[in-house]
Amino acid sequence: MSSYKLRYFDGRGRAEMIRLCLAATGANYEDIRMNFEQWTKFKPSTIAGHMPILEVDGKQLAEADAIAKFVGREHGLAGEGNWEMAQIDMIFGICTDLRKELFETHFEKDEKVKAEKIEKLKKEVLPKFLDIFEKILESNGKGDRFLVGSSVTVADIVVFDVLDLAASKGLVDFKEHPKMDCFKKKVAELPRIAEYLKLRPNSNM
């Protein structure tokens, strides 16, 4: 069995969906949370010069989406056939767009601009993405519990992660999207995910 080491800062960021994917598989891994000084020393030895990084039996894999999909393929959470895998790729791309909006707002330094961005997230951005995710959920011909196919995939986990992050900031209201609220709760209640959520460190972002 492969040995995994996941390296990132002490926060959710781009690594949290990977931690959730690893948790969902039950895989053993070392969750290495680095401070800035440690990262500065480690950075020259990395492939791409940024984290997260997954070390698999001593070999490095960079880019969060690639890592999450690799974990999914290794542990049966990557969908069945080219169509389901393409759907998963699509969902990852949509989540990247939403995560970018969330991160840009979080790290905005101008307080007035930040307040405007928060309002836009609440009233326009999040409702738009919830509509998209709900359409994908409803279009799954194998049931409306999961986004792709008839069992959990990394697509469900990455959508859960980005919605969970938005919800933790008070940015999302599920009142108009009860199916997505139900979806989020179902993923959170998956036994291994529930155990991880119960034990994970508190983090601002």
Structure tokens at 39: 């990262």
34-48, 77-91, 105-119, 139-153: least confident range: 139-153
Instruction: List pLDDT tens digits, range 70-101.
Output: 999 999 999 999 999 999 999 999 999 999 99
Structure tokens at 26: 């039950």
Q: How confident is the model at residue 143 (pLDDT cuts 50, 70, 90)?
A: low
What value does the mean pLDDT of the chain take?
95
| Domain 81-189 belongs in CATH node 3.20.190.10 | no
CATH code of 4-75+195-199, in short, is: 3.40.30.10
Helix 81-106 to helix 64-74 angle (10° resolution) is 140
For the chain, what are the domain ranges? 4-75+195-199, 81-189
Structure tokens at 21: 């994917």
Instruction: List pLDDT tens digits, range 155-196.
Output: 999 999 999 999 999 999 999 999 999 999 999 999 999 999
